[in-house]
Amino acid sequence: MELKGKTILITGGTGSFGKACLEALLDHHEPGNVRVFSRDELKQSELQQRHRGDDRLRLFLGDVRDRERLVRATRGCDLIVHAAALKQVPACEYNPFEAVQTNILGAENIVSAAIANEVPRLIQLSTDKAVNPVNLYGATKLAAEKIVTQANTYAGDTDARFANVRYGNVVGSRGSVIPIFVEQAKRGELTITDERMTRFWITLPEAVEFVLSALKIMEGGEVFVPKIPSMRVVDMADAIAPDARRTVIGIRPGEKLHEVLLTEDESRHALELEDRYAILPEFPSWRAAPYTHGPPVEDGFRYTSDSNERWLTAEQLRAMLPALEAVV
């Protein structure tokens, strides 16, 4: 499905991803209009000022916990990008039912609204933390993945189809380790949880284009996983502040040493495409023809941040974040 001329809704549209997705759509994909759905009136006002004069922008105040409001916001939509979530791990641990209401019930609500209005395509943003989750945030996103995948069954014989994207840490996003290191570098000391730790990394523009490309090729029920590089936490420290002191503080509650984007069990029903993996649903009752966009991955394949074939160097990280040049 092409994006040109389409009506597109972004939930969580005033967040880091939502704003970047909006700009990419308006600048490069010629949508009919883009609806931004979020609960922050100040951020919506700032967004309106930034895009003053662009009549393709529509602003909807609302919360994904409110199904009725979502039904109203999705009426007449062609595509939905579901990016709204509570994603800070410590906050979700401390406020578990708040995370459940937004991340799980919110996913159910947007799915129900899309089915009610027969929206042709919905894609949800997931995370590597949904794989074998060890914290509540990951558990809620795993549940959301299952809800979105199974929505294809509930959509019945309508044109509505649902899929997920699952990727790693976004370089420079709020709350990630890189902005923390940049700030700590000013004081000459970095705190490192564990020197063995590795993570998957993707830039915000790459994440946006990956999501939009998935909207174009999805058939329903897939979990799309991009082929992205890993980086060691000590290499991040070298890139940002090579001369700073380092203090090892230990892994925080709910953290892993390494992240996983595709498990051995999922590999039994996953395909390898040129730039991504597609994890297929095990019981695709809604699909009339087999999914044949790529060969199956090897049996027992496991895509993890410590066994990745692609690695970011300190120089490559600096190229991703020009602002780091002023720090090192």
List residues with catalytic annotation.
129
Q: Cα–Cα distance between 250 and 185 in angstroms, integer? A: 19
Q: Cα–Cα distance between 299 and 281 in angstroms, integer? A: 16
Secondary-structure percent of the chain, ordered helix, strand, coil, rounded to 5: 40, 20, 40
CA dihedral sign of residues 212, 218, 220, 224: negative
**DSSP label of 296:** B
Opening angle at CA 74, ends 35 and 68, nearest 5: 120
**Based on C-alpha coordinates, what's the Rg of the chain?**
20
Q: Cα–Cα distance between 262 and 226 in angstroms, integer? A: 10
Q: Decide: 160 and 149 in contact? Cβ < 8 Å.
A: no
Q: The tokens 């290499």 sit on which residue?
A: 235
Burial of 282 (0-12, 13-18, 19+ CB in 10 A): exposed
